Amino acid sequence: MARARRLRLHTHDELVAVMRTDSPVCHAEGLAPHTQIFVRNGGRPIVATLFQVDDAFLAEDEIGLSEAAWEALGVDEGTTVDVGHAPPLESIACVRQRIYGHRLNAAALSSIVEDVVAGRYADVHLAAFLTATAALPFDEDETYHLTKAMVDAGDRLSWPGGIIVDKHCVGGLPGNRTTPIIVAIATACGLTMPKTSSRAITSPAGTADTMATLTSIDLDLDAMQRVVTAEGGCLAWGGAVCLSPADDIFIGVERALDIDTEGQLIASVLSKKIAAGATHVVLDIPVGPTAKVRSAEAADRLAATRTSVAGRFGLVTRCIQTDGAQPVGRAIGPALEARDVIAVLKGDPDAPPDLRDRACVLAGVILEIGEAAAAGAGRALAERTLTDGYAWKKFQRICDAQGGMRTPPTARLTHPIVATHSGRVTHIDNRRIARLAKLAGAPDTPAAGMRLHVRLGDDIIAGQPLLTLHAESQGEMAYGLAYAASNPDMLMIAP
Amino acid sequence: MARARRLRLHTHDELVAVMRTDSPVCHAEGLAPHTQIFVRNGGRPIVATLFQVDDAFLAEDEIGLSEAAWEALGVDEGTTVDVGHAPPLESIACVRQRIYGHRLNAAALSSIVEDVVAGRYADVHLAAFLTATAALPFDEDETYHLTKAMVDAGDRLSWPGGIIVDKHCVGGLPGNRTTPIIVAIATACGLTMPKTSSRAITSPAGTADTMATLTSIDLDLDAMQRVVTAEGGCLAWGGAVCLSPADDIFIGVERALDIDTEGQLIASVLSKKIAAGATHVVLDIPVGPTAKVRSAEAADRLAATRTSVAGRFGLVTRCIQTDGAQPVGRAIGPALEARDVIAVLKGDPDAPPDLRDRACVLAGVILEIGEAAAAGAGRALAERTLTDGYAWKKFQRICDAQGGMRTPPTARLTHPIVATHSGRVTHIDNRRIARLAKLAGAPDTPAAGMRLHVRLGDDIIAGQPLLTLHAESQGEMAYGLAYAASNPDMLMIAP
Q: pLDDT by residue (tens digit) across A19-34?
A: 999 888 887 777 888 8
Sheet holding B459-460, edge to edge: B459-460, B423-428, B491-494
Has residue B65 got a pLDDT over 80? yes
Three-class HEC string of B47-100: EEEEEEECCCCCCCCEEEECHHHHHHHCCCCCCEEEEEECCCCCCHHHHHHHHC
* pLDDT average, residue stretch B97-109: 96
- Using the predicted structure, report yes or no on whether residue A239 has a pLDDT greater than 80: no
In a domain, A406, yes or no: no
- Give the CA distances from residue B54 to residues A8, A11, B21, B299, in Å, rounded to whole numbers and listed in that order: 6, 12, 6, 57
Residues A128 and A66 in one domain: no
Of B8, B55, B474, the CB nearest to A8: B55
The pLDDT value given to residue B12: 79
**How far apart, in Å, are the Cα atoms of B465 and each of A489, B416, B418, B468?**
73, 6, 4, 7
Q: Is A493 left (phi over 0), alpha (psi -120 to 50) or beta?
A: beta
Most confident of A238-242, B83-87, B279-283: B279-283
Answer whether A73 touches B (CB < 8 Å).
Answer: no
Identify the domain boundary among A401, A432, A458.
Answer: A401
Quote the CA–CA distance of A18 and A6 in Å, as a whole number: 10
Least confident of B42-51, B95-104, B467-476: B42-51
- Contact flag A10-B53 (C-beta cutoff 8 Å): yes
The one-character DSSP state at A7 is: -
Residue A150 placed within a domain:
no
Mean predicted confidence (pLDDT) in A67-72: 89
Selected for mutation to probe chain A from B9, B23, B133 (highest A CB count within 10 Å) is B9
From chain A, pick out residues whose CB is under 8 angstroms from the CB of B475.
28-30, 84-85
Q: What phi and psi, each to the nearest 5 degrees, are found at residue B346?
A: -80, -15
Segment B222-227 mean pLDDT = 94
Would you place residue A251 in the very low, low, confident or very high pLDDT band (cuts 50, 70, 90)?
Answer: confident
Q: A433 with A332: CB under 8 angstroms?
A: yes
Q: Are the CB atoms for B175 and B337 separated by under 8 Å?
A: yes
Which of B423, B436, B438 has the alpha carbon at shortest distance from B467? B436
For residues B196 and B320, membership in a common domain is answered with yes
Closest residue in A to B90 (Cα) is: A483
Report CA torsion sign: A67, A72, A73, A75: positive
Of A260, A284, A340, A429, the active-site residue reads A260
Q: What is the DSSP letter of A204?
A: S
Q: What are the φ and ψ backbone dihedral angles of B407, each rounded to 5 degrees?
A: -90, 125
Q: Which of B115, B209, B260, B284 is catalytic?
A: B260
- At residue A160, the pLDDT reads 83
Say yes or no: A379 and A285 in one domain.
yes
Nearest by CB to residue A473, choosing from B30, B51, B57, is: B30
Q: Which of B401, B423, B452 is the last residue of a domain?
A: B401
- Both B336 and B310 in one domain: the answer is yes
Question: Smallest Cα–Cα separation from B449: which of B334, B290, B330?
Answer: B334
CA–CA separation, B294 vs B447, rounded Å?
30
B367 inside 8 A of chain A by CB? no
| Domain CATH number, residue A72 | 2.40.40.20
Chain A residues in contact with B37 by the CB 8 A cut-off are none
- Do B313 and B174 sit in the same domain of this protein? yes
The pLDDT of residue B366 is above 80: yes
Please give the average per-residue pLDDT across B130-137, as a whole number.
93
CA distance A150 to A269: 10
Q: What is the CA radius of gyration of chain B?
A: 24
Residue B161 has pLDDT above 90, yes or no: no
Angle CA B72–B75–B78, to nearest 5: 135
| Structure confidence at residue A85 (pLDDT) | 81
Instruction: Say if the Cβ atoms of B18 and A33 lie within 8 Å.
Output: no
The reply to whether B159 falls in a domain is no
User: Closest-CA residue in chain B for A90?
Assistant: B483
Predicted confidence (pLDDT) at residue B467 exceeds the cutoff of 90: yes
CA distance B197 to A218: 53
Residue A7 has pLDDT above 80, yes or no: yes
pLDDT band at A269 (very low <50, low <70, confident <90, very high): confident
Cα separation of A139 and A143, whole Å?
6
**Distance to chain B for A315, nearest Cα, Å:** 31
Contact list, A13 vs chain B (CB under 8 Å): 34
Residues of B numbered 43-72 whose beta carbons fall under 8 angstroms of chain A's beta carbons: which are they? 51-55, 57, 66
- Residue B88 pLDDT more than 80? no
- Phi, psi (deg, nearest 5) at residue A322: -125, 165
**B119: CATH:** 1.20.970.10
Is A372 found in the same domain as A262?
Answer: yes
pLDDT score of A77: 93
**Together in a domain, B24 and B119:** no
- pLDDT level of residue A231 (50, 70, 90 thresholds): very high
Nearest to A11 among B28, B34, B124 (CB): B34
Testing the interface with B: which of A36, A51, A255, A412 to mutate, by most B Cβ within 10 A?
A: A51
Identity of the residue in A7, A96, A123 whose CB atom sits nearest the CB atom of B55: A7
Last residue of a domain, one of A375, A401, A427: A401
Percent of chain B with pLDDT over 70: 100
Residue contact B28–A134, C-beta within 8 A: no
Looking at residue B28, its pLDDT comes to 73
| pLDDT-derived band at B238, boundaries 50, 70, 90 | confident
B167 has pLDDT over 90: yes
Residue A260 annotated in active site:
yes
Cβ(B270)–Cβ(B310) below 8 Å: yes
Q: Could you tell me where the beta strands, DSSP code E, fall in A288-441?
A: 316-323, 331-332, 413-418, 423-428
Q: How far apart are CA A456 and CA B166, in angstroms?
A: 63
- Chain A 171-230, residues with CB within 8 Å of chain B CB atoms: none
CA distance readout (Å), A425 to A142, A326, B84: 43, 11, 35
Integer-rounded Cα Rg, in Å, for chain A is: 24
Show which of residues 254-313 on chain A sit within 8 Å of chain B, judged by CB atoms: 256-259
The Cα–Cα gap between A36 and B25 comes to 32
Please report the ipTM that was assigned to this predicted complex: 0.78
* Per-residue pLDDT band at B494 (split at 50, 70, 90): very high
Task: Indicate if A356 and A216 belong to the same structural domain.
Answer: yes
Mean pLDDT, residues B437-460:
94
User: Does residue A141 fall inside a structural domain?
Assistant: no
- The CA distance from A144 to the nearest CA of chain B, in Å, is 22
| Residue B248, pLDDT score | 79
Residue B313 in domain: yes
pLDDT above 80: residue B8: yes
Which chain A residues touch B123 with a CB distance below 8 Å? 122-124, 127
pLDDT in tens, A131-172: 999 999 999 999 999 999 999 998 888 888 789 999 999 877
- Give the per-residue pLDDT at B322: 95
Edge-to-edge strand list for the sheet holding A316-323: A165-169, A280-287, A316-323
Instruction: Count Cβ atoms below 10 Å from residue B38 Cβ, excluding itself.
Output: 20
For residue A253, what pLDDT is reported? Answer: 85
Q: What angle do CA A385, A387, A388 make, to 5 degrees?
A: 65
SS (H, E, C) A143-201: HHHHHHHHHHCCCCCCCCCCCCEEEEECCCCCCCCCHHHHHHHHHHCCCCEEEEECCCC
pTM of the model: 0.80
Tell me: do B297 and B181 sit in the same domain. yes
Q: Tell me the nearest-neighbour CA distance from A382 into chain B, angstroms.
A: 40
In angstroms, the CA A391 to CA A381 distance is: 11
Per DSSP bridges, beta strands A413-418 and B62-65 are unpaired
Q: What is the tens place of the pLDDT at every residue in A311-353?
A: 999 999 999 999 999 999 999 999 999 999 999 999 999 999 9
Answer whether A482 touches B (CB < 8 Å).
Answer: no
Comparing CB atoms, the residue among B52, B99, B124 nearest residue A123 is: B124
Closest residue in A to B26 (Cα–Cα): A473
**Which of A131, A444, A476, A486 to mutate against chain B (most B CBs within 10 Å)?**
A131
Flag whether A269 is in a domain: yes
Q: Are residues B109 and B40 in the same domain?
A: no
Phi first, then psi, for residue B19 (nearest 5°) are -135, 160
Number of domains in chain A: 4
Chain B CB contacts of A123 below 8 Å: 122-124, 127
> Who's near A112: CB < 8 A, 6+ residues apart?
A91, A94, A95, A104, A129, A149
Determine, yes or no, domain membership for A296: yes
Enumerate the residues of chain B whose CB falls inside 8 A of the CB of residue A11: 33-34, 51
> Same domain for B359 and B438?
no
Checking if the pLDDT of B392 tops 90, the result is yes
Shortest CA gap B122–chain A (Å): 9
Q: Which of B47, B247, B238, B68 is nearest to B157 (CA)?
A: B238
Q: What is the pLDDT of residue B345?
A: 98
Question: Which residues on chain B are in Cβ contact (under 8 Å) with A7?
Answer: 53, 55
Reported confidence tier of residue A98, pLDDT bands at 50, 70, 90? very high
DSSP per-residue letters across B368-380: HHTTSS-TT-HHH
- Quick check: B123 and A126 CB within 8 A? no
B481 to chain A, any CB pair closer than 8 A? The answer is: no
Residues in contact with B243: Cβ distance below 8 Å, sequence separation at least 6, in sequence order: B154, B155, B156, B157, B196, B271, B272, B275, B276
Please determine, for residue B108, whether its predicted confidence score (pLDDT) is greater than 90: yes
Q: Are residues B142 and B188 in the same domain?
A: no
Judged by CB atoms closer than 8 Å, whether chains meet at A34 and B54 is answered as no
Sign of CA dihedral B413, B416, B417, B420: negative
Q: In chain B, what residues touch A101 (CB-CB under 8 Å)?
A: 135
Taking the CA atoms of A432, A437, A438 and A440 in sequence, report the sign of the dihedral they define.
positive
Q: Give the containing element (helix H, strand E) for A241.
A: none
**A475/B84 CB distance under 8 A:** yes
- Which residues of chain A are within 8 Å of residue B25 when distances are taken between CB atoms? none
A residues 127-146 lying closer than 8 A (beta carbon) to B = 127-128, 130-132, 134-136
Using a CB-CB cut-off of 8 Å, the residues of chain A touching B473 are 27-30
Which residues on A lie below 8 Å from B30 (Cβ)?
441, 444-445, 471-473, 475-476
Domain with residue B215: its CATH number is 3.40.1030.10
Judged by CB atoms closer than 8 Å, whether chains meet at A11 and B131 is answered as no
For A38, the domain range is 2-85
Least confident of A169-173, A210-214, B385-389: A169-173
User: What pLDDT digit, counting tens, does each position of B171-218 carry?
Assistant: 779 999 999 999 999 999 999 999 998 888 778 999 999 999 999 999
**Is residue B277 exposed (0-12), middle (13-18) or buried (19+ Cβ within 10 Å)?**
middle
Taking the C-alpha atoms of residue B389 and residue B394, their distance in angstroms, rounded to an integer, is 9
Q: Report yes or no on A27 lying in a domain.
A: yes
Q: How far is CA A391 from CA A94, A176, A199, A298, A406, in A?
A: 48, 18, 24, 34, 18
